[in-house]
Copies of this chain bind each other. A is one copy, B any other.
């Protein structure tokens, strides 16, 4: 699973950071899932290694413009880039109506099916390999965090060793692969777990934006490999964070600590911390690391590989 940050600025684009979007490349299939789609996301895709034609699912956190104004253009371009079979979009109430209104006024007709799912807290997608849940966050408008989990896979079955033990090929193999105990015709007992490598634990990612510190974010992110959490403001500007219901870097770190995640990546930074200002992004990083050392800051086109452990 590979994360590419396509936009890491809050509210407005700057010369070096676009507004919110993250691409998630799935290793199992030639598919890309998008998290948020601010204006210019399709332009960022053009300048990245992501193939726009591989986008199959888009998860939208909330209806603010810096998270959705790139959606119509991207969906229109997806059609021209080689028709996808279908794109599934998940987001808050209003998203479907917004897209319909934009389509109507601009007379945009998509050449492939688009299905908009209005999310509610809980499980919203599951297939044989992945599970996606969302949870409510605390912002000025309804906002949802997403948790994307790869399912655990049984460990590698050692077929050579099974053959050496004289186990006949057939239904017994299935039992052993599932870790069960079998009894051979000659009375020997064999433990499946002795022939299986360790379970391949699925990788887990949580994305929490836009939000002030909230327990729901901690719950959603519990134990993930990577938590991507917004950090619009520095701790010193906490008053602004409370006023606008955004997080400080300190709050992001507190969520990471409470959720016992492996890695925190902060994003969605206010342009006020651009280089040359009294407070810079390095200060936000230091604040967060004082609480949660395994913290990094996102920047546009940062690609981060979530590896198995």
Contact = CB atoms under 8 A, between A and B. Distances in A.
Nearest to A16: B46
Contacts of A214: none
Interface string A85-121: 0000000001101100110011110000000000000
Nearest to A106: B65
B63 A107 contact: yes
Interface residues of A, number: 37
Interface stretch (A71-79, A234-242, A277-285): A71-79
Those 9 A-B pairs whose CB atoms lie nearest each other, nearest first:
A98-B105, A39-B73, A101-B101, A65-B106, A40-B40, A12-B77, A69-B73, A40-B43, A94-B105
A97 B107 contact: no
Contacts of A68: 106
A201 interface: no
Contact of A65 (B46, B64, B73): B73
A211 interface: no
Contact of A46 (B11, B15, B80): B15
A13 interface: yes
A72 B65 contact: yes
Contacts of A189: none
A136 interface: no
A42 interface: yes
